[in-house]
Homo-oligomer: A and B are copies of this chain.
Amino acid sequence: GKTYKIASIPGDGIGKEVIPVGQRAAEAAAAKHGFSLTWTEFDWSCERYVETGQMMPDDGIAQVKEHDAIYLGAVGWPTVEDHVSLWGLLIPLRRELDLYANVRPVRLLKGVQSPLANRKPEEIDFIVVRENVEGEYSEIGGRLYRGTENEVAVQEAMFTRRGTDRIMDYAFKVAKQRKRKHVTSATKSNGIVHTMPFWDERFAAAGKRHPEIETSQYHIDILTAHFVQHPDWFDVVVGSNLFGDILSDLGPAVAGSIGIAPAANINPEGVFPSMFEPVHGSAPDIAGKGIANPVAAVWTAAIMLEHLGETEAAKTLEAAIEATLQAPETKTADLGGTANTEQSATAIIEAI
């Protein structure tokens, strides 16, 4: 079988507790399905920043480029300002590796409680595809008359045709692999925001390039309402950097799974390795106690294996997760269970 080289960056806090579990689970699935994984571990983290003044070394990006995928835990710790840890690690990875598609599956798993009344698992099953490198997150902006009565702060949102078209195409490509073959666009073109009529035009043009896919679009305000009232309407949802950021937290919340949700930062052309990270953060409040939920890390490993082409192994991991969610002894306290990290991990590995 094949061998895949993975760059593993446990990062901070519970990242260091759950990434090893994800690695064990991925190893077990690899053994079962006849391929192998080799891991290079990087200590890039806030701890490293405090010791060396850098989140990662100068040639960090070059080092991870040598791999087939990047498996990241969580970045951020109270000793280092968010701004520093993000710009020192997460954002350069996303931008310099051109990971322009941020992809988050939203699924109500059996054994997880949705905050919505009367929703069955088959009613919440969609994917948010977020543009991950431009739009509202341009680096352009700043202040005038800082610190005075006349202070003004500005931020430029910038959408390019290339950047918009390629995220649209990626979303349609994802939809093609799914049963319902539907893409919903998140927009806000009814008011003042100049970039959104442009977004709509590019969405319409993409729809013409992919005529076998159905489309719909909603303004972001009412779309968040529909997520809560009609989660069953959605299959693939494509949004700008900011709208996608919002929808990919709201979606997992609706599915009751913000603590177990996985995310992928994809370079669809495969020029650079893609990066896989749980949605949850480093969780300083519970870090070091051995009680963190490893499900997000394992689910993240699953979508990494799927991206590498090992679809069966991914299915094995997802089935193992679902199996352990059925009983309190095999899931952690945040999901109403009684297991600690190691007990949950053991149960997942056994289920594989």
Contact = CB atoms under 8 A, between A and B. Distances in A.
Kindly report how many copies of this chain are found in the complex they form together.
Answer: 2
**Interface SS of chain A: helix, strand, loop or mixed?**
mixed
B117 A151 contact: no
Given A192-B91, A222-B249, A153 B142 contact: no
Given A159-B153, A160-B152, A221-B248, A194 B143 contact: yes
A156 B157 CA distance: 6
Nearest to A243: B246
A160 B148 CA distance: 11
A137 B190 contact: no
A224 B221 contact: no
Interface stretch (A21-29, A46-54, A252-260, A305-313): A252-260
Contacts of A122: none
Interface residues of A, number: 58
A288 interface: no
A319 B194 CA distance: 43
Interface string A237-254: 000001001101110111
B159 A157 contact: no
30 contacts: A114-B117, A115-B116, A115-B117, A115-B229, A116-B116, A136-B193, A137-B192, A139-B192, A141-B157, A141-B194, A151-B161, A153-B159, A153-B194, A154-B158, A154-B195, A155-B156, A155-B195, A156-B156, A156-B157, A157-B157, A220-B246, A221-B246, A221-B250, A224-B249, A224-B250, A225-B249, A225-B250, A228-B228, A229-B258, A246-B246
